[in-house]
Amino acid sequence: MNRVVYGTTCAPYLVQGVLKQLVMDDGHNYPLAASAVNSEMYLDDILTGAADIYSAEQVKEQLIEFFRGGRMQLHNWSSNCKELLTNSEVSDGDFSLAIPYETKALGLLWRPQTDSLAFSVSANVDTCESCKITKRSVLSTTPRIFDPLGLISPVVMK
């Protein structure tokens, strides 16, 4: 097999193995990309940032070249900086996006224009005046909140 088929049980393990091997083989040529892949990647998403546009452009260029060496293409770029998106190298699979109102990042909503994170919680209770919020509805809704970084855990009830 020349490709990893998504949906199989072993696919996440194989992808992580391929990325670790790619870092070992070519990481010295692309130190910024290797650092991002090692510490800022979750499955198939890289969430990284930079202090200024020049550094962000370097990270972006190194990531593109790093993955190109492994015959992979990066898709769905998102940034809160228009210059970073408009200066992108666009090929068949790459997308040059306008700054969206919001996008998902690891289950959280990220709003690039304000550079803020948001959470979406849907309750089981209908929004009618006769419906009461009960302990059962609160206990049913609370575990559905996806908060991998624990950002809103101080306000979630025990």
Q: Round to whole Å and give the CA distance between 81 and 52.
A: 10
**pTM for the whole thing?**
0.69
The answer, yes or no, to whether residue 3 has pLDDT greater than 60, is yes
Residue 10 CB contacts under 8 Å (≥ 6 apart), including other chains: none
What is the pLDDT at residue 58? 92
Helix axes 31-39, 11-26, angle to 10 degrees: 150
What is the pLDDT at residue 123? 59
- Which pair of structure tokens corresponds to residue 7? 């949906």
Taking CA atoms, 154 is separated from 70, 110, 148, 151, 157, in Å, by: 42, 20, 13, 8, 8
The answer, yes or no, to whether residue 80 has pLDDT greater than 70, is yes
pLDDT tens-place string over residues 84-135? 777 555 444 444 455 667 777 777 788 888 888 888 776 555 555 567 778 8
Write the DSSP string, 124-139. SS-S-TT----HHHHH
What is the pLDDT at residue 136? 82
N-to-C CA span, the chain: 49
Q: Round to whole Å and give the CA distance between 143 and 125.
A: 15
Question: In terms of Cα–Cα distance, which of 61, 90, 67 is closest to 15?
Answer: 67
Q: Which of 66-70, 86-90, 114-118, 154-158 has the lowest mean pLDDT?
A: 86-90
Beta bridge partners of 111: 116
Please state the domain extents for the chain. 10-74, 119-156
Q: Identify which of 50-54, 70-74, 92-96 has the greatest average pLDDT.
A: 50-54
What is the pLDDT at residue 23? 92
Residue 105 CB contacts under 8 Å (≥ 6 apart), including other chains: 45, 47, 78
Q: Round to whole Å and give the CA distance between 142 and 107.
A: 15
